[in-house]
Chain A
Amino acid sequence: GENVEQHPSTLSVQEGDSAVIKCTYSDSASNYFPWYKQELGKGPQLIIDIRSNVGEKKDQRIAVTLNKTAKHFSLHITETQPEDSAVYFCAAKNSGTSYGKLTFGQGTILTVHP
């Protein structure tokens, strides 16, 4: 089955700096890669996703890049703010599995210091 590795496990940045979280996946048939943000005391929530036919996608201060050859994808947050502090999860979905069945990475605790 699919295996998703996420790094780093913790990331600390100063407000205004950029943050990058990286994930690698094992199954070349994976075609959908979402990122979820989990705030303290809440469940994860989708913030951005990318499909395998696209190399990059942006939404305001966040962007995701995908390198299918290397089987890795990254989350980029620019101009970080204290409210970006949360746990971030990457995930992957195999093209052969049903809609909604995701394999998640281990999570990254991002702390943005004012």
Chain B
Amino acid sequence: DADVTQTPRNRITKTGKRIMLECSQTKGHDRMYWYRQDPGLGLRLIYYSFDVKDINKGEISDGYSVSRQAQAKFSLSLESAIPNQTALYFCATSVRRNNEQFFGPGTRLTVL
């Protein structure tokens, strides 16, 4: 069973639509992260959360918002999707006092 799951795995949408990507984990980790991956740009941090009531912006948060509904769930929203948000999105988790991150399988988002 996957420890970090992401839904959906693939999504095609149109410009201006609101999109939500969901991440769930069964690892019991308190820290969760959202990244986007683009060719040649690596993994860039969008938002991160160290606890249920803690939300922090990463390096590319503009155009995105997040919600930490419970320790095990962390959702990423695109309020009004635009084509340059087409990318592969990853959720990751880690535990306090440990730097290793555990990644989900990714969501491929295409904005037309």
By a beta-carbon cutoff of 8 Å, the part of chain A in contact with chain B is 1, 4, 6, 9, 32, 34, 36, 41-46, 49, 89, 93, 98-107
Judging by beta carbons under 8 Å apart, are A105 and B42 in contact? yes
Q: Distance in Å from the Cβ of B50 to the closest Cβ of chain A? A: 7
Among A93, A100, A101, A105, find the residue whose CB has the most chain B CB atoms closer than 10 A.
A100
Residues from chain B with Cβ under 8 Å of A107 in the complex: 37, 40, 42-43
Known: A89-B42, A106-B40. A43 touches B97 (CB 8 A): no
Judging by beta carbons under 8 Å apart, are A46 and B92 in contact? no
Q: What are some 25 contacts across the A-B interface (CB < 8 A)?
A: A6-B42, A9-B40, A32-B99, A36-B103, A41-B106, A42-B106, A43-B90, A43-B92, A43-B104, A43-B105, A89-B42, A99-B97, A99-B98, A99-B99, A100-B94, A100-B95, A100-B99, A101-B48, A102-B99, A104-B42, A104-B43, A105-B42, A106-B41, A106-B42, A107-B37
Judging by beta carbons under 8 Å apart, are A43 and B4 in contact? yes
Number of interface residues of B (CB under 8 A): 28
Within 8 A of A (CB), among B1-53: 4, 31, 33, 35, 37, 40-45, 48, 50
Judging by beta carbons under 8 Å apart, are B44 and A43 in contact? no
* Interchain pairs with CB closer than 8 A, number: 63
Residues from chain B with Cβ under 8 Å of A93 in the complex: 99
Question: Knowing that A9-B40, A89-B42 are A-B contacts, what are 17 other residue pairs whose CB atoms are under 8 Å apart, sorted by A's residue number?
Answer: A34-B100, A41-B105, A43-B4, A43-B90, A43-B103, A43-B106, A44-B43, A45-B103, A46-B101, A49-B99, A98-B50, A102-B99, A102-B101, A104-B42, A106-B41, A106-B42, A107-B42
Compute how far the CA of A37 lies from the CA of B103 in the bound complex, rounded to whole angstroms. Answer: 11
Judging by beta carbons under 8 Å apart, are B43 and A89 in contact? yes
Query: Residue A100 contacts which of B31, B44, B104, B105 (CB distance < 8 angstroms)?
Result: B31
> What residue in chain A is nearest B97 (Cβ atoms)?
A99
Compute how far the CA of A105 lies from the CA of B105 in the bound complex, rounded to whole angstroms. Answer: 19
Compute how far the CA of A79 lies from the CA of B59 in the bound complex, rounded to whole angstroms. Answer: 37
